[in-house]
Amino acid sequence: MHSSLVRVQNVFGYFTTVAFCTAIFVALSVLVTPQHPSASIQLRNVQVVKGRPHYYSPKKEEYAHIKFDLDADLSSLFNWNTKQVFVWITATYPSSSPTAPPSQAIIWDSIINSYSQLHPYTPFDAWKDLPIVGTNKVPAKKSKSASKKKVAEAEAEPTPGLVRLKNSKPKYQITDVTGKLASQANVTLELGWNVQPWVGALTWTAKEGQDFGRWKGIRGGKSEAFDLPALKGKSATQETVIQKGTPKPAEAKPVVP
């Protein structure tokens, strides 16, 4: 059977096999890169205020506004298969029910793009530097400076994963499911992350001591425990409205309906 249909089939089959093998190899190969993240978080200031989730809400809740310092080195999380790293800081505190595990809420987060995400490789970039056949145009000089420029760009770019925040405001003012948060004791801030690969498995925060082969758990990354203040003075009478936009859904459909 040497019809062209069979050949097309063979070529396509070969292509998918090679693509999948390469993807599996890339996904597994990241295990050889050493990871040694470290961070330190300090509480700067904390306030508890009364407020409503949005303007028309009749619900009144207590919101904690936590300011913090963060000094993190997550640069070793970036390897050839890293698309982005999502970092966040959670506030962890005991739940109101004694049998339940601690409650957690994100007070700050950020997406750190990898170099390859910011500067995606396109084969057409290389074509631009080729001399154009049949003309006298030789863009060789330009290409040299262009490639130099690229190198300079890469060098100027700060290493992704170095995060330094001084007295940073929280991105989210958090509340509890009960609506009460004032005077909450034993709150800690903790750094977490999620590595989004180009292909393969997603990985999450490795806690201190959670080593996996060449991947070391985080050093530090946790604040001292502190207590939230009570509602008092101005904050007890004033009301903040947590302004939010309208969320859009990221819809995901089962592959087999």
Partner 1 sequence: MFAALSNPRQSLTQVLNFALVLSTAFMLWKGLSVATDSPSPIVVVLSGSMEPAFQRGDLLFLWNRGQNTQIGEIVVYNVKGKDIPIVHRVVRKYGGGDKPLKLLTKGDNNMADDTELYAKGQDYLNRSEDIIGSVVGYIPFVGYVTILLSEHPWMKTVLLGLMGIMVVLQRE
Residues that bind partner 1 (CB under 8 A): 1, 23, 53, 83-84, 86, 88, 90, 95, 97, 99-101, 103-106, 109, 111, 113, 117, 172, 174, 176-177, 192-194, 196-202, 204-205, 244-257
* Cβ atoms < 10 Å from Cβ of 16: 10
User: From the CB of 246, what's the least distance to partner 1, in Å?
Assistant: 6
CA neighbours within 13 Å on the CB side: how many for 64?
34
In order of 111, 175, 221, the CA distances from 245 in angstroms are 19, 18, 31
Residue whose CB is less far from partner 1, 205 or 235: 205
Residue whose CB is less far from partner 1, 117 or 143: 117
Phi, psi (deg, nearest 5) at residue 236:
-75, -30
Structure tokens belonging to residue 23: 């993807």
Q: How far apart are CA 230 and CA 91, in angstroms?
A: 17
User: From the CB of 83, what's the least distance to partner 1, in Å?
Assistant: 7
In order of 49, 87, 172, the CA distances from 67 in angstroms are 14, 17, 11
User: From the CB of 254, what's the least distance to partner 1, in Å?
Assistant: 3
User: From the CB of 192, what's the least distance to partner 1, in Å?
Assistant: 5
Residue whose CB is less far from partner 1, 87 or 231: 87
